[in-house]
Structure formats: structure tokens, C-alpha cells
Structure 1
Amino acid sequence: MSGLFSGKGFSGKIKITQNEFVQLRDIIYELSGIYLQDNRKFLIENRFAPRLSELNLKSYSAYINYLKNHNKGKTEELSMLTELITTNETSFFRDNSQLKVFRNHTLKKIIDESNKTGRREIKIWSAGCSSGEEPYTLAIILHEALKDEIRKWRISITANDISTNVLKMAQKGIYTRHALRTTPIHIVKKYFKDRGNEVFQLNPEVKRLVRFGKINLNLDRDVARIPKSNVIFCRNVIIYFDKNMKKKVLSNFHNNLLDNGHLYVGHSESLHFVKDKFKPRQHAGTITYHKI
């Protein structure tokens, strides 16, 4: 899942003033919907100093002017800005208590209802997919649940992130052992090819279920292109949005979900402020949200 700041990086000498911080924060918010609290000033300095050095800029005011006035390549620079403000810490089968509920309750219900109607179709959206561990985990769970019958199903897992770099990594389907640290050993042996040197290649049959694409959750036109979903996973993403942005994103999720759709968010994220759109459901170790 894409997250905000790891606190690691280059320790630069260029300091950011409060006025510069507010201006840069506004640009970041307009771009991505991510809101930076005042206590993030040091982390801005930590992350952005190398970029200022690359551009030979002596102050954050100069960088802000560069962002506002640099027409040639501006899209590329704004894309790089998103890389600087996000970090990605994830793994396969992370937060297994949620995945267990997905497998034993949500997915089972979808499969049972689909078998009754004869319309064997499952659509899942991984919003904030990072380097692909989450959507590929869901694809593996579907393979385990449906086994050979999976060939009779129309399955679509749409995986999106704002970071171009992590999407490139995801599309390759190549991971280190560290990314598999929370994955059962029998799953690793069944769905990954050991290429040596602690590197593993994901099974093509799993990869084919997932379609990756860049998205900005702050742009309605981006969200509108996502196919209607039975389930949305957006874990550890909305925690970085302010209340207005959260309401906007969750409203779009509500519109995207099919009737009786399910939403999974991170353990530390609550939807108490959108009670008119989602109903919480308690499970052992986790909470899921059901579209009203």
C-alpha cells in the first residue's frame, strides 16, 4: 500500500520556511489529495533535498516556482513529486486476519451467489496497490478458492497506484524473499519460481488476473474509469487524507461498488463519518464495510 514518508533519506542543508511549506503542501494536496500536517516539515526537507540539488535550486521557493512555471516536462516533474511524498511498505499476505475474513466470508458469499445465478464473475479493485503484493495475493486466494474451476469464471482485479515506479515493479511480478516474509511456505512453492539469489518470479496464471494502471484518487475522471466492483481494497491509504478528501474518495468507492459490495480499509482507518454509505461488520480480528 502506498503510504506517506518513511522518515529515511538524504539529510540536506536547505531549510524550508513555514510559508514555503504551506505553498508546497497546497501543491501536493491539489495533486494527490494527500494533506501534510505541520510536523512533516523536517520530512519534506529530508526527502526533497536531493531533488533540489539535481535541479540546482537553492531554496524551496525556487522549487515551488519551478513547479508552477515549468511547462516543459511539468507532467514528469509532478509525477516525480508523488514519488517523493509516498513510500511503499507491504508484503504478500499482509494483515492475514483481514484476508481470512475476505476468503471465508466475502469471497465465499460472492461465489455462492454467483453459482446460484449462473453469472460467474468477480471484480475486485485494489486502490493503492503499491508494488503489487496486495492484488497478487487476492489473485492467489481466488486460485486457492476456485482451483481448476477458475477457468470457468470471469475474474478481473484492477490494481491502481499514484506511483509510476511501483507500478512498473508490480507489472514485472518479480520479488525478493523479503516481500514473501508473511507468505505461507506452501504458497511460495506453489505460485512462485525460485530464481536464486533470494529472487522469486510469480506464476503467469496469477499475473494474468491483474491489470495495473496509474490513478489519482483526487481526480474523478480517473476513478470513473474503474469497472464496477464487488470488492474494494484500499488499505492504509485514506489515513493520509483530510476529512473532505476522505469523504470524496469514499463517495467514489460507494458509487463504484456493485449492490451488496464490500470495502476493506486498514486496521487504523475508520469510516464513522460516512455512516450513510457504509455499514460496519464485526469479524474476529477485523472490521469490514458493506455498501448501504
Structure 2
Amino acid sequence: MIKHIGIKVGLGCIAALLIVFQALILFVAEPKDYYLIYDWIFYAVNYLIIIALFFLFASKRRYLVAIQILIVIVFLVMNTTYLYYKGDENIVVSHSQHQQHEVILKESKKMKDETVSLKRRGVIFGKKVTTLTGSSRYKAIEKDRYQIEWVSGDIAILTYQTNVQGALKQSIFSFRASDYSSYYYVIVSLTGKWVEKDHSQNYLMSNNGELIYAKEGHLYYYSQDDIEQQGVFSIIVTGDQHRPSFTVVLNADSELDKNAIVKKGGTITVSPISLDQSKGKVFEKQ
């Protein structure tokens, strides 16, 4: 039992602040999709609260002390169990080349929670941006079946596996400032012919919302139904067993004319939806 009144008051204030902190996380932050980046912090605070309350209210009577110790042990075991299951997680923090931007992925190892991407808010919190498809059942980070590629230093392409059959999906995270006052369609901006810088026999042609992709001597055709826009600067093109799937990102040097079509000399990055560590190729507008 603590007899010094100053220590007791100080310990009580600390315990109260920690309890308020936990309450704000549970009842204010999480309902608004703000989460601790590292969940172990929550359970570490619980340990501090349990220990602080024990010393604050410790009794002089032996039988009460025994009961209090038993209660503390129960709470410690409960907290440790939650820490083991919910606090055991994989955190991925990927930075752009000059450390200006970051993508944070948070995956629970043991729980069937969906993996989320977070945008950092402060030091220890993150705002949920999106969830990864299939991540409640298949843990892509745990199995090292994911890949992050940065394009132009301000757009990240996340490729990840969604099930045991090997299906892949991509998500695009853009940190590029946009000067455009209204939404526009990337597929329209791509109108024209684009040639790969390193291999001129490979090219991409866009017209009326459809794509022709020439790669290594083969031609692949895609309709509007195969194309999904993500954000302002990118599209995902979904193929099949006979056609490759890939993502097209407008690079930072692509300028639009008055019709929202990329001017000659602008570039795009074409990234395959694959986990074979192959990087995207740069194509130039002709």
C-alpha cells in the first residue's frame, strides 16, 4: 500500500489519464476508422493501468490482498491472451525513394480481421484508407506474397495474393497533388500510341476506351469492361489466361492538353500484375 499522498495522487492521475486514453481509442478513434498502428501499445497501457490500480487500492488486510492479487492475475492473463491473439500482427511500412510518402499495411496474424492500409496520423495512429480483398482468409504479408512498387516517387502499386489458388489483385495509392478541378477518365487521357522506351517493339494504343497491347510479338485486345480506374492517375487492366493483366499509371511528367489527353513526350508506367519482382516499364507518348 502506498502511504505517501503525493505519490498516490500522482499515480492516480497517471492511471486516470491512461484510462481516458484507452477510452478515446475504443469509443472515439476506432468508430471513425482511426487505429493504433501497433496494437501492442494498447495492451501495454492495460498492463500499466492494472499495476497502477493494484498499488492504489492495495489493502492492509491479508485476505483482501490475496483477493486483489488474484483479481490482478486474472486481468493480466486476460490482457496477455488478447495481446497474443490481437496484438500479434505484421506491419509493413514502405517509403518512397526520398522518404516523402509512405504506405502502411497492418495484418493480423491470428485473427480473421481484414488487412488494412493506413495513412499516418501523428506518431502512433493511422487513418484507414482501404482493406485488402480476401485478407481475412489469406494472409499475404505473413506468407510474403505481396509487392510494393513506387512510380514517379508519389504513387505506390501494391500487388498481393488473395487466396491459396494464387489469384492476384492490385491497389493503387496516390500521393500526387492534382491541379484538376474535375474528375477525368485516364483511359481517355491515354488516347494515342505509346512506345516502350527500352523495347520499341512493345507498345500500347488507346482509342475510344479500348486498348491494344503489343508485347514481345503478341497483340492483346481489351475492352472497356476490362478496365477499371483507380484514383486520378491510374487504371487497372484485367486480362485472363490468354491476356496479361497490368496497371497503367500516368507519370508526373505527363501533361494534359485542353481535351484532357496526354501531350506528346509524356510518359506512363505499365506494371504487370505479378509477384515475380519485375518492375514496371516506361512508355512514351508518340
TM-score (norm 1): 0.20
Larger strand percent: 2
Larger helix percent: 1
Higher relative contact order (CA 8 A, sep 6+): 1
